[in-house]
Chains A and B, each alone.
Chain A
Amino acid sequence: MNDADCVGEHRVDLLWSRLRYFGGTTGHWGGNCAPLDEQDFEERAWVPDSGWPFPKSELDASYPKAYEYCELPSANFSADYWAAQSASFRERRISLAGDPIGEKIMLKSPPTRFGEVYRNALAQPGNRCDVYLHANVVEIETNEEANRVTALRTKGIDGQTCRFRAGVFILASGIENARLLLLSNRVRPRGLGNDHDVVGRYFMAHTTLRTGRAMLSLPEGTASYYATLGWEQRFLNEISPFIDALQPSRAAQEREGILNSVVFFEESYEGEKTPGFVAMRRIAKQIVHGRMPSNLVRDLGIVVGDLDEVVKALYARSVGDRSYKILQTRFFCEQAPDRDSRVGLGDDLDALGQRKLVLDWRLNDLDKRTVIRTQKLLAEQFGGLGVGRLQVEFDSETDPWPRGVDSSAHFMGTTRMSTDPRRGVVDGDCRVHGIDNLYVAGGSVMPTSGATMVTVNIVALAVRLAGHLRSRLS
């Protein structure tokens, strides 16, 4: 039921990246957490359709509870604080000027698998929450005026249907929120909350790209503090539950006219990113998982055609030859809000007879400029500090996107928040414009995506919504 079609240049795997079970995608979440930045909430002249209905200070009150739910070891996101805690980090911390490049600390959740961690509490006798599993919502039913929801109609795989009635309804299923609103077209042919054709639009992810590499004159082990991969090894040896990402300052973003972004390092050996080595990994991975490799002949051909690089990488890995070690730069960027980047309904039907999603994920010139200029800022900062040099691969805004642009499976937008119904699906309280008792929670309401991991921010938004509903219902 999660399967969907992708059209357009950039594809994502919507089947693999979403989990349709209790606890949702926290089931395979990596656990990195950091709050959004202040500028993410601001209307930035150089970022069309930017700006939230409220400033970050309003969400700040909800973060402590969100950190608690995500089981964070601390609420301190200051790099100076963590340098004081960890001698190892202190010795390896890259001494940045702050402008144009500063730091953004991300803290590590265990990660919290919400379905496992909170299942028992919800099952306790006397709990005011009833959980129904396998009740797939297939329609939001409303009154004749479509300004009040009356019930949710659900359907199981066995075909059994139910109707759930309540005073207030909250949709909380990522980009499926938009699908449900579009599918619920009995009263409004274009779907609920869609009088201005905004439902499904402004789909965003985090533009993620491994491109370029760094040659740094830094102590061994430095990269592990700046990498999302392999940090667990470091955590086993010392108490340092954080990652220090490199981030263009707010002022640099404005000067360069770019989106928010952060950069990580990934340590690997020369040759590991070549098509031959990647094909060999693909074959090995499938064999390890007990599957017959798909496209075996094609992949073997790629390995043979790239044999010298494959052998070099294997040799370097096996003997740990540091002269072949490289630091790849991984860019993780806010995506520009774009009305044409969207989800809609296709003609194919899922197992419940519902029209499947079709995704048209679009990246625009501002997204491209952000990667390229951030790269330049980083190169100049490292050079200026005498820290090292950067080799860039993708350096022209007129070039097409290189292969390997990824979404990090962070799907946002499609029921975005705005005080203006022509620009957003929900208002500042996350209530669907024009419908009195229908709310939306999750990343789908975010008007901009920031350059941070999504989960803890979604939880903070849910805490804020809970506060609003508590006061409304009391």
Chain B
Amino acid sequence: MNRRELLAAAAAAGLLCGSPGPARAATAVPPEARRLLTLLRSPAAARRIGRAYLEKAGDEADPAKLVALIMGEGGTVEGDLLRHVAERQRADFAAGRTIKLDGWVLSRTEARLYALAAV
């Protein structure tokens, strides 16, 4: 994973800046997963990072499990999904729930979002 891939994935997910892009959701995933995947503008870059995450967390290689972990309690969000994910991500960093992928320090939530694109 190089810097440009991470840049593409992170920016595309609106997690560094910007807003969600057009929907390009995968088809064989549960409804909530589809909503989450709409946050990604560069699924290819996200998939590469996601695969790196799944190499470390193979037991999470399941869309339903990943959705539950990304969304948190309740498993669904009615309102602004991007804001919800961004808040979960901020909370991860504050609590030290991070993971290093190729040295990049990412929040667990964002890494799982990328993993969702890879499963």
Q: Do A and B come from one complex?
A: yes
Is B96's CB within 8 Å of the partner chain A? yes
Task: Assess the B16–A386 pair: CB atoms within 8 A.
Answer: yes
Given contacts A217-B11, A323-B4, contact A391 B96 (CB under 8 A): no
By secondary structure, the A interface counts as mixed
Taking residues whose C-beta sits less than 8 angstroms from the other chain, chain B's interface range is: 20 to 34
Is A157's CB within 8 Å of the partner chain B? no
Task: Assess the B86–A389 pair: CB atoms within 8 A.
Answer: no
CB interface residues, B 100-114, toward A, < 8 Å: 100, 102-107
Q: Chain A contacts of B92 at CB under 8 A?
A: 383
Name the residue on A nearest B102 (C-beta).
A391
Q: Measured between alpha carbons, how far is A381 from B19 in the docked complex, in Å?
A: 22
Is A390's CB within 8 Å of the partner chain B? yes
Q: Measured between alpha carbons, how far is A392 from B17 in the docked complex, in Å?
A: 22
Task: Assess the B96–A217 pair: CB atoms within 8 A.
Answer: no
Name the residue on A nearest B94 (C-beta).
A384
Given contacts A380-B96, A392-B105, A395-B100, contact A386 B6 (CB under 8 A): no
Q: Chain A contacts of B100 at CB under 8 A?
A: 392, 395
Q: Chain B contacts of A393 at CB under 8 A?
A: 103
CB interface residues, B 13-46, toward A, < 8 Å: 15-17
Is A379's CB within 8 Å of the partner chain B? yes
Interface flags, A390-426, vs B, CB<8A=1, else 0: 1111010000000000000000000000000000000
Task: Assess the B98–A379 pair: CB atoms within 8 A.
Answer: yes
Task: Assess the B11–A380 pair: CB atoms within 8 A.
Answer: no
Q: How many residues of A contact B (CB 8 A)?
A: 22
Q: Measured between alpha carbons, how far is A392 from B103 in the docked complex, in Å?
A: 5
Q: Which of A383, A384, A393 has the most CB of B within 10 A?
A: A383
Task: Assess the A386–B17 pair: CB atoms within 8 A.
Answer: yes
Given contacts A215-B6, A323-B4, A383-B89, contact A389 B105 (CB under 8 A): yes
Q: Measured between alpha carbons, how far is A385 from B105 in the docked complex, in Å?
A: 14
Is A53's CB within 8 Å of the partner chain B? no
Task: Assess the B10–A395 pair: CB atoms within 8 A.
Answer: no
Q: Chain B contacts of A213 at CB under 8 A?
A: 3
Is B90's CB within 8 Å of the partner chain A? yes
Is A326's CB within 8 Å of the partner chain B? yes
CB interface residues, A 72-112, toward B, < 8 Å: none
Is A212's CB within 8 Å of the partner chain B? yes
Q: Chain B contacts of A326 at CB under 8 A?
A: 3
Task: Assess the A376–B17 pair: CB atoms within 8 A.
Answer: no
Name the residue on A nearest B7 (C-beta).
A215
Task: Assess the A386–B86 pair: CB atoms within 8 A.
Answer: yes
Task: Assess the A391–B7 pair: CB atoms within 8 A.
Answer: no
Q: Measured between alpha carbons, how far is A376 from B4 in the docked complex, in Å?
A: 22
Task: Assess the B107–A212 pair: CB atoms within 8 A.
Answer: no
Name the residue on A nearest B96 (C-beta).
A380
Q: Measured between alpha carbons, how far is A398 from B104 in the docked complex, in Å?
A: 19
Q: Chain A contacts of B94 at CB under 8 A?
A: 380, 384
Q: Measured between alpha carbons, how far is A376 from B96 in the docked complex, in Å?
A: 9
Q: Measured between alpha carbons, how far is A217 from B106 in the docked complex, in Å?
A: 15
Name the residue on A nearest B4 (C-beta).
A323
Q: Chain A contacts of B86 at CB under 8 A?
A: 386
Q: Measured between alpha carbons, how far is A270 from B4 in the docked complex, in Å?
A: 11
Q: Measured between alpha carbons, how far is A326 from B98 in the docked complex, in Å?
A: 22
Task: Assess the B4–A386 pair: CB atoms within 8 A.
Answer: no
Q: Measured between alpha carbons, how far is A270 from B2 in the docked complex, in Å?
A: 11
Q: What are 18 A-B interface contacts by the 8 Å CB criterion?
A: A217-B16, A270-B3, A326-B3, A376-B105, A380-B93, A381-B93, A383-B89, A383-B90, A383-B92, A383-B105, A385-B90, A386-B15, A386-B86, A388-B16, A390-B104, A391-B3, A391-B102, A395-B100
Q: Which 7 A-B pairs have the closest CB atoms?
A: A384-B93, A379-B105, A383-B93, A217-B16, A391-B103, A217-B17, A380-B93
Interface residues of B (CB under 8 A from A): 3-4, 6-7, 10-11, 15-17, 86, 89-90, 92-94, 96, 98, 100, 102-107
